[in-house]
Amino acid sequence: MNNSTPIIRVRNLVKKFGDFVANDHLTFDVFSGEIFGFLGANGAGKTTAIRILCGLSKPTSGEISVAGFNIYNQTEQIKRSIGYMSQKFSLYEDLTIAENIRFYGGIYGLKRKEIKTQTAILLEKLGMNDYRDQLIRDLPLGWRQKLAFSVAIFHNPKIVFLDEPTSGVDPITRRQFWNLIYEAAHNGITVFVTTHYMDEAEYCDRISMMVDGQIVALDSPGKLIQTYNAANMNEVFLKLARSSLTEVKA
């Protein structure tokens, strides 16, 4: 799955808001086709970093390239090569399934015919063919999230960023969702994902753990569990995040 070319290359990424250092010298690579888990406590600086990688905000300093493009002056190209989905914003609730797909296909410049055939394939795969004219707001959350993910990779991006995609989704749908992620990765799309479900962290090929703006651990889940002598990722997370808290207090 991993080949050696990094599709996201981050060197010494620093982002400051006044005196507050949100990202403190982040350095990491994400390889093509891998599922990369980006974990950390609330306020650790994950969202800030994702915004920078998506070209939505500029870092204070650091060398960053995404899909081979420079984050400082090639944001347009970056935006064309990535997909994005978050728990908060995904689809327009007052549009139907088909309308949402057509809209997103349209903004990425897909041709009418292409959108039509792709939509048919997609709805068939998700089993939503009979519901194509339903409004999004009438769909259960799990369906929406699955659809939102499919829309995010509809234009076949090189990388897809997922910000807490499964919050509040039922356990079965959550797993169906991860099947979609696996499939996307299998087809060569790099997946960059944040989550609060620690079992989901274990689905990733590699995980980075952020605490107070710094990456304190980065490895495969199996190795991390071994290194920190833990039973699962939840324990690893608690150990890492807690140790930082005690440091602050002391």
Partner 1 sequence: MISILAEQIGKSYQHIHALENVSFQVGKGELFGFIGPDGSGKTTLFRILTTLIVPDSGSVTVENLDVLKEYKKLRTMLGYMPGKFSLYPDLTVEENLEFYASIFDTTIQENYHLIRDIYVQIEPFKNRLAGKLSGGMKQKLALSCAMIHKPTVLVLDEPTTGVDAVSRVEFWEMLKKLKSEGVTIVVSTPYMEEAGLCDRVALMQFGKIMKIAPPQQVIDEYRRNLFSVKAENTYKLIEDLQRFPETGSAFPFGQSVHFTPKSPAFFPQMLIDFLLQNDHQNPDVHSIEPGIEDCFMELMTESPDAGDLSKI
Query: Considering beta carbons, is residue 74 or 167 the nearer one to partner 1?
Result: 167
Residues in contact with partner 1, shown as a per-residue x/- string from 84 to 123 under the rule CB under 8 A: ---x------------------------------------
Binding residue count for partner 1, defined by CB under 8 A: 43
- 245 lines the binding site for partner 1 (CB under 8 A): yes
Distance of closest approach, residue 84 Cβ to partner 1, in angstroms: 18
- 221 lines the binding site for partner 1 (CB under 8 A): yes
User: Among residue numbers 14 through 73, which ones bind partner 1 (CB under 8 A)?
Assistant: 40-44
φ, ψ at 144 (rounded to 5°): -55, -45
Distance of closest approach, residue 72 Cβ to partner 1, in angstroms: 29
Spatial separation of the C-alpha atoms in residues 104 and 247, rounded to whole Å: 46
Alpha helices in the chain (DSSP H): 46-53, 75-81, 97-107, 112-126, 141-152, 171-186, 198-201, 221-227, 233-249
Q: Which residues pair with 208 in a beta bridge?
A: 38, 218
- 229 lines the binding site for partner 1 (CB under 8 A): no
Q: Which of 29, 99, 199, 219 binds partner 1 (CB under 8 A)?
A: 199
Reduced DSSP (H G I as helix, E B as strand, rest coil) percent helix, strand, coil of the chain, to 5:
40, 25, 30
Distance of closest approach, residue 171 Cβ to partner 1, in angstroms: 5
If you compute the radius of gyration of the chain from its CA atoms, what whole number of angstroms results?
19
